[in-house]
Structure 1
Amino acid sequence: GVLRRVYEHIEVLNREVDRQLIAAAGSAKPSEMVALKGGCFQMGNAKGTLAEQPVHEVCLKPFKIDKYEVTQAEFQSVMGLDNPSHNTGPNLPVDSITWFEADRYCKKLGKRLPTEAEWEYAARGDTRTEFYWGDKVKGNEANFCDKNCPLNTRIQSVDDGYAGTAPPGQYPPNPFGLHDMAGNLAEWTADWMNEDYYRSSPKNNPKGSHPTTAKVVRGGSWHTTAGFLRSSNRAAYWVKMRNYAIGFRCVSNS
């Protein structure tokens, strides 16, 4: 009986490995970029935290943004560093990088990290709802802390298909064609965190607060509950911190 259960468990693990390999092989080119026309949008959320208020108009120049989060294979190829990731796999998004490493990676490719305003504009995809697919989470829209997640805050009624990170492109894109702007990994931005910044943010191409102690992180992750996936949600982490729920993507001027 015990031996049979062991073999059954091994078979389940093998099926999961096969599924991930097939998914990784089927994912599109991670380095692809999407050109966004820019323009004006309403940034923030009147129903969100105080840091997300007030809602204010922001106007941005056109820019390009990575369609997918940067993968471990891409990061190692460009940086020549050991893989820092907690969830390892060449086709998985790189995690546990410091802000400085993310910044350096983008600059090596002639790109940069997105400003917080660029990130939210890209994530919203011309929507005003809590998430870019609507105001509710069913569970198949993004990778967050579902029944497979190792936290007590996991949502037992949801199975999004992955216990950790997922290869890029496994969930539906937002209206701009971008993947994982909600969930999978939260993402570093260029801006310093200031909870009161929205009260004085300029309307045109805001570049963020004066230096503080932490950088803004956006998007929620496989390790957070659904509320963190909201397009307006703001979080912050120390620049030298390595967190297995944080990755990044780059932007460039059009």
Structure 2
Amino acid sequence: MRWAWLIVGLGAAAPSLAANYVPLPGGSFASVIAADNKTAPAQIAPFRLRTEPVTNAEFLAFVTAHPEWRRDRVASVFADGQYLSHWASPDTLGADALPRQPVTRVSWFAAQAFCQSEQARLPTWYEWEFAAAADAHRPDARGDPAWRDRILSWYTRPSNTALPLVGGDPDVHGVRDLNGLIWEWVDDFNALLVSGDNRDQDGADKLRFCGAGAANLREKENYATLMRVAMLSALKAADTTNNMGFRCARPK
């Protein structure tokens, strides 16, 4: 990411609360975003992924250890004015941010800094999509209409309702809550809809406009995944929303 140099050293010195990471095998994967912008599958190296999204309690421990990421101290270039605004105070969660709820209203910068504190990073889009394709029994359940309908049903939940607690049923890899709880930051969120062909700059600009490029992506039956691409591509690194959280990844 072109912004990575800005956060090197911010929040990277001390680990946060212990977290569980599980191995995923990687491999060749038919992403909704072809590796060559045409039909080529993604090639994903084995990696480890946090089993659950980062919670409010974990992020509170992080900002306590790294006060430069408190909402009353964070630089405006790293987070917008709604950063952690649902917390009762800069160092208190309160009734609207329960300890085991996933933390939201965090910017990409803050999420990346937290992951660095765990000697980790945000997952790439391909890693996240690869992991999210699993169900309890299959590493890739995307061809099952019932699986797609179950994931899509999440979008019927009003965005202003209280978030459930983390800790849903694990998938075949042992990962929880990849679908149906929150949106999640990925490391390369701002490159998802940029053409790899320099001759296609006009097309790239059109694709980046409000995530409209999702209409041109593959696997259109996996509408829920396409919606995530559109959402992520419409954001800036300092943006926060009331349902955007994150988890971290590590090399295997």
Give the TM interval when normalised to the shorter protein: 0.5 to 0.7
How many Å apart are 1:41 and its aligned residue? 1.3
Does residue 187 (structure 1) correspond to residue 197 (structure 2)? The answer is no
The code of the aligned residue for 1:105 comes to: F
- Other-structure match for 1:42: 30
Give the gaps of 5 or more residues in structure 2.
1-16, 65-69, 72-82, 87-95, 199-203, 212-221
- Other-structure match for 2:91: none
TM-score by length of 2: 0.61
Distance 1:71 1:120 in 2: 21
Identity among equivalent positions (%) equals 24
- Other-structure match for 2:239: 241
Partner of 1:136, secondary structure, is: helix
- Other-structure match for 2:84: 84
Cα-to-partner distance string for 1:118-170 (whole Å, 9 max, x where unaligned):
1111111331526896232388xx75433xx267xxxxxxxxxxx32111113
Distance 1:61 1:137 in 2: 28
Contact preservation (8 Å) 2:159, 2:243? no
CA gap 1:124/1:197 in 2 versus in 1, 3 angstroms? farther
Aligned counterpart for 2:51 among listed residues 47, 67, 77 = 67
TM-score by length of 1: 0.60
Does residue 175 (structure 1) correspond to residue 172 (structure 2)? The answer is yes
Distance 1:174 1:55 in 2: 28
Does residue 31 (structure 1) correspond to residue 42 (structure 2)? The answer is no
Moved >4 Å (runs of 4+): 130-133
Contact preservation (8 Å) 2:151, 2:224? no
Does residue 136 (structure 1) correspond to residue 149 (structure 2)? The answer is yes
Please state which structure has a larger fraction of its residues in helix. 2
Contact preservation (8 Å) 2:183, 2:228? no
The code of the aligned residue for 2:148 comes to: D
Distance 1:75 1:184 in 2: 17
Partner of 1:93, secondary structure, is: coil
CA gap 1:138/1:77 in 2 versus in 1, 3 angstroms? closer
Partner of 2:62, secondary structure, is: helix
Give the gaps of 5 or more residues in structure 1.
1-28, 47-52, 152-162, 201-208, 217-226
CA gap 1:232/1:45 in 2 versus in 1, 3 angstroms? farther
Distance 1:251 1:124 in 2: 16
Aligned counterpart for 1:118 among listed residues 113, 122, 127 = 127
- Other-structure match for 2:13: none
- Other-structure match for 1:145: 156
CA gap 1:175/1:188 in 2 versus in 1, 3 angstroms? same
CA gap 1:138/1:118 in 2 versus in 1, 3 angstroms? closer
Does residue 57 (structure 1) correspond to residue 55 (structure 2)? The answer is no
Contact preservation (8 Å) 2:42, 2:126? yes
Distance 1:123 1:114 in 2: 12
- Other-structure match for 2:9: none
- Other-structure match for 1:222: none
The number of aligned residues is 184
Partner of 1:135, secondary structure, is: helix
Please state which structure has a larger fraction of its residues in strand. 1
Distance 1:84 1:30 in 2: 22
